[in-house]
Structure 1
Amino acid sequence: MSSLVKNVGTIGGLTLISRIFGFARDMLLARVLGAGLAADAFQLAFTLPNTFRRLFAEGAFSVAFVPMYSRALHGSEAEGGGEAAAAKFADDVLAVFLWVLLVFSAVAMIAMPGIVWLLARDFQAVPGKFELAVFLSRMTFPYLALISLVAMLSGLLNARSRFAPGALAPVLLNIVLISGITAGWWLRGDSGDDRIVAVALAISVSLAGVAQLAYLWWSVRRAGLKLHMRLPKFTPQVKKLGMLILPATFGAGIYQISQFVDTFFATSLPQGSLTLLKLADRLNQMPLGIVGIALGTAILPMLARHIHSGDNAEAQRLQTNAFEMATLLTLPAAAALAICAPAFVTAFFVGGKFTLADGAIMANIVVALVAGLPAYVIVKILNPGFFAREDMRTPVWTALASLIINIAINLYVVERYGIVGLAGATAVSASINCLLLYAVLHRRGWFHFTAKLAGKVARQIVAVAAMSALLWWMMPMLAPYYGGGVIDRIWSLAALVVAGGAVFFAAAFLVGALDKDLVAMLTRRRAKKAAP
């Protein structure tokens, strides 16, 4: 458990820094662009490479590449493993991967009008909106190729338990994007032409990819690893990787695939709906990114090693610990975000071109999205149970079932409940996917929900209930301050966060929801860090 806690702490801490910068980026974006034509066009342009990134680069490629590279790295020379075998595998993958990315990106950029039409055909109803979306999408799409190479380099380091560079790279993205917003705002001046800001942002997306790739390349070289460019050759290992990536693209990415579905439906709703959905998802992504990505990234190589060595007991223990950590952090986060959504949205986003009416709609979207937050994170823990065993088919079928249900629900709720109904459908489909994945793992004897784990989760729910009651009581008392001056916004939100956190952890400690060994471990880590 100590290794899991250490790795999750490293990844989660650095991801938190990235999310804070990302949050600052979206706060600035909301005030500068609001929820209008240019904002919607940029959100679509950013959604395309960003969703492909999560789906393919950080999803399918990573879950297929890391176990294979880890197996080659940690295998004996008699089994065809070792440093030399791992280096050859990485070079062979890079040689093929680079050309695939270049060809795919070129084809996508040529076909961009058709892609945008498929996702946002209703943009054509607003003069200039469709054309702007196509132009911006062509400018942002090179980011996919750049960040995919970043994902590969991160995988090399993750397999060696060097998680910091990959977790820190997104900070560079947000710093560059903040610079792009600032530059666009300055160039726009008094003209009021929001398209200038959108173009500056689109350019900064690809520049951010260059910065991230340069940083990861330097990190890999610093770790003593060298990659060599070769002519593409489809070796048996590369072919095997390709066969694993294809189903993993679907199985690992139900949430990302749902983003495309949501984008399609959101663009058919009133102008600004897509922007409000994406900004609301930023609040949802804070705990999802910090906890879900950290746990999923840390657990995969560790789980692959236990399974490869035949230690099923350790594999079960690892997933149980990850599950307990996930619920301990996501259950209170989901409850707090649902109750305090109006406070967070008003304090962080309302201002400039972002109106109170926009904030009211966005708060309702946040409530609907976070209903599925625990499921989003738990899926990140359950999927590695299949990927570490190179079973990519099962997640495909569960994801397909969930996606069909998501589309069916959307067809019913979007017309009746608009963008809020769409967000709720995403939460429901993610929860169904989570249940299906667990049912298969349990049936195959790969992971089971123990009575001890059930008791821990039940105690966590009791602590969440105590925290929720306090927040429900405090929210109306502090309502006049959420939209006030900067000081009022800061202290009112701080009061909610501190009071809610204190009550949750106090209640969790009293009812036994906190693992005493985990607390002792964390305390020892802090003590070691504080020691001279």
Structure 2
Amino acid sequence: MSLVKKFATVASGTLMSRALGFTREMFMAAALGTGPIADAFNAAFQLPNTFRRLFAEGAFNAAFVPLFSKEIEANGVEGAKRFSEEVFGVLFSVLLVLTIAMELAMPLIVRYLVAPGFADIPGKFDMTVRLATVMFPYLICMSLGAMMAGMLNSLRRYFAAAVAPVFLNIILIAVLAYAWYKGKDAYYVGYGLAWGVLAAGLVQLAIVWIAVRHAGISIGFRWPHMTPNVKRLLWLALPAAITGGITQINQLIGTAIASGQNSAVSSLAYADRIYQLPLGVVGVAVAIVLLPELSRALKSGNMVEAANLQNRSVEFTLFMTLPAAVALLVMSEPIVRLLYERGAFAANNSTPTVAAILAIFGLGLPAFVLIKAFTPGYFAREDTRTPMIFAAISVVANVAIALTLFPSMGAPGIAVASAVAGWLNAIMLLAVLVRRGHWGRDVPLLKRIPRLVLAAALMGAALYFGEHWFTVQLSSAAHLTTKAVTLVGLSAAGAVIYFVIAFAIGGADFGMIRRNIKRGNAKGSPAPVDTE
């Protein structure tokens, strides 16, 4: 299976999840707006979500996948099964102890870590604590699920792991729809969403567990034991967890700072949901597929293949995300107006703030996606320490800038800090890869990048004038259908302009696309396992 097809397999599941995520956020915006319950839910959900990224997705996609792949190569399926059971026993035990400790300390954690700004608002603070207490066990489900997903990705079975997150949005949409149908109040909606998150975690774990069994590996429980392989995993996982969860760390910091201002937490969350679409569809897909592919190429000593994988991934990443970034920058307000401006959200007059945050996130989008393309170059070589150092530097920059800008700019200042920190992290990752000789100089890629930037800029200019031309059709007073048709039409026209210019000036060519689609096993990569 070609690299592009693998990206597409993962991206399709992620696209379903993100599309349903939009629907979920639209219902939430109408039901809760940017009011106190929305702030409480979004702040509470940040806690298990951050730990999920720190101890699950980041750590296991960075540390577990290369070691699991090595076990398959060295000891076959039985060796990989034994290694997985050893890891499962330790992981489950650690998660159980962590969850119990966090549940007992939840009031202190919310007061001093998650939302210190809520401490002086008793109702808001108590609601956040209760919702976080309900949702935190979600961490166990998602961490074990991330391990199963890492196994599936190593076996080149990408679909189940990619489609499982869809069920979080399906369940939460069902909760919101039921609450709307029954006319429930905001407090009911908040509690319903919290229990829905926990239920979704159980469903997602069941999906990947069944997929792993279907792939021929049945995992049994072993009492936790620190075997050499587990010690190696933990040694690699700690810095990898921090690195892989850098976006979530910055979001947690942003949430803590934003809790000092009413509606800021939920405004950041609504904008984040929109920019997560291109980030998830492209960035996450590239990171998930690239790591096991790059690990195999390096293990087999195929340096040419490894360099080609990295360069083509960056090429694909920029080709897809530059126009998305420009569109978010230029058309943020019509996008927010169409998706969210109704019900409680419209009553709170939240559109200008959320649109400003979204536009700034658009400026940082290429950096966030490039980070996901650069970090596998370190993780596949079992170097998790260097990206962790860069992640720490970017966190310090994020905190300093956010604290400086928040008093004057409010929530958009936090978005500026996040974007600057993202670019700083991406530049450091690339610079060291180049200095170490792990990033080959690719002349076609270097020629295409400025041409893709030019094509995206011209598309942005066209969208800017188009938005002003259709001001009435995109205004708050326009009918929902009119706004939707106009925005979709502008987006489609922008996409056509971008692709036509990109191909016309050499930013992309059909030969490049054909080579990626047909690439398959031509350069010595192992034969793929049948995917689901």
Q: What range is the shorter-chain TM-score in?
A: over 0.9
* Amino acid across the alignment from 2:94: V
Does residue 139 of the first structure (1) align with residue 134 of the second (2)?
yes
Counterpart residue number, 1:528: none
Given the alignment of the two structures, is residue 166 of structure 1 paired with residue 161 of structure 2, yes or no?
yes
1:82 counterpart SS class: helix
1:419-438 matches, within 5 Å, as 419-438=411-430
Code of the aligned partner of 1:349: Y
CA deviation profile, 1:255-281 (whole Å, cap 9, x unmatched)? 111011101111012x11100101001
What is the Cα deviation at residue 520 of structure 1? Answer: 3.0
TM-superposition CA deviations, 1:366-392 (whole Å, max 9, x none): 011111100100000111111111111
Aligned ranges 1:140-159 → 2 under 5 Å: 140-159=135-154
5+ residue gaps in structure 1?
Answer: 76-80, 526-532
CA distance in 2, matches of 1:481, 1:102: 53
SS of equivalent residue, structure 1 residue 401: helix
| C-alpha deviation, 1:187, in angstroms | 4.8
Aligned partner of 1:78 in structure 2 is none
CA distance in structure 1 between the partners assigned to 2:182 and 2:213 by the alignment: 38
Q: Measure, in 1, the Cα distance between the counterparts of 2:245 and 2:165.
A: 19
Matches within 5 A, 1:128-527: 128-189=123-184, 193-269=185-261, 271-355=262-346, 357-482=349-474, 483=476, 484-520=478-514
2:84 pairs, out of 80, 86, 90, with: 90
Write the deviation string for residues 9-45 of structure 1: whole angstroms up to 9, x where unpaired.
Answer: 1001111111000111001100011111111000011
Q: Which residue of 1 aligns with 2:24?
A: 25
Question: 1:43 maps to what in 2?
Answer: 42
Structure 1 position 422, deviation (Å): 0.9
Helix, strand or coil: the match of 2:470? helix
The amino acid across from 2:13 in the alignment is L
- The alignment partner of 1:245 has SS state of helix
Structure 2 residue matching 1:371: 3-state secondary structure:
helix
Structure 2: runs of 5 or more not aligned: 520-532
Q: What one-letter code is carried by the residue in structure 1 that aligns with 2:481?
A: I
Name the aligned partner's letter for residue 106 of structure 1. I
**1:513 alignment partner, SS class:** coil
Residue 518 of structure 1 and its aligned partner are, at CA, apart by 3.8
Residue in structure 2 matched with residue 74 of structure 1 by the alignment: 73
| Aligned Cα root-mean-square deviation (Å) | 1.5
* CA contact 1:188–1:196 (8 Å) conserved in 2: no
- Counterpart CA distance in 2 for 1:519 and 1:153 is 32
**C-alpha offsets along residues 452-483 of structure 1, whole Å, 9 cap, x if unaligned?**
21111111112112211110111122222233
In 2, Cα distance between equivalents of 1:515 and 1:167: 29
Q: How far 1:522 sits from its partner (Å)?
A: 7.7
Q: Which amino acid aligns with 1:330?
A: T
Q: How far did 1:501 drift?
A: 0.5
How far did residue 512 of structure 1 move? 1.4
Alignment correspondent of 1:116:
110
Does the CA contact (< 8 Å) of 2:56 and 2:241 recur in 1?
no
Question: Deviation at 1:107?
Answer: 0.8
Shift of 1:253: 2.2
Q: Note the C-alpha offset of 1:523.
A: 8.0
Give the aligned length: 515
Question: Per-residue deviation at 1:521?
Answer: 5.5
* Structure 1 range deviating more: 483-492 or 147-156: 483-492
Contact 1:7 1:298 in 2 (8 A): yes
For the residue of structure 2 that corresponds to 1:161, the secondary structure is coil
Residues of 1 paired with 2:399 and 2:323: CA distance?
29
Superimposed CA distance per residue, residues 423-460 of structure 1 (whole angstroms, 9 cap, x where no aligned partner): 01100001000001111111111114533211111111
| Per-residue deviation, residues 184-210 of structure 1 (Å, max 9, x unmatched) | 334554xxx411110010000000011
Kept in 1: contact 2:5–2:517 (CA 8 A): no
TM-score by length of 1: 0.94
Amino acid at match of 1:255: T
- 3-state secondary structure, aligned to 2:343: coil
| TM-score normalised to structure 2 length | 0.94
Mapped to 2, the partners of 1:496 and 1:143 lie a distance apart of 40
Question: Match for residue 527 of structure 2?
Answer: none
Q: Deviations over 1:129-152 (max 9, x none)?
A: 100000000001111110111111
Give, in whole Å, the separation in 1 of the partners of 2:484 and 2:512.
32
Contact 2:117–2:257 (CA under 8 A) maintained in structure 1: no
Paired with 1:162 and 1:523, the residues of 2 have a C-alpha distance of: 18
**Which protein, 1 or 2, shows the higher relative CO under an 8 Å CA cutoff with sep ≥ 6?**
2
Question: Deviation at 1:517?
Answer: 2.6
Once residues 523 and 130 of structure 1 are traced to their aligned partners in structure 2, the CA distance between those partners, rounded to angstroms, is 52
Which deviates more, 410-419 or 481-490? 481-490
1:101 to 71, 95, 98: 95
Q: Give SS of 2:350's match.
A: helix
Match of 2:12 in 1: 13
Q: Which residue of 1 aligns with 2:522?
A: none
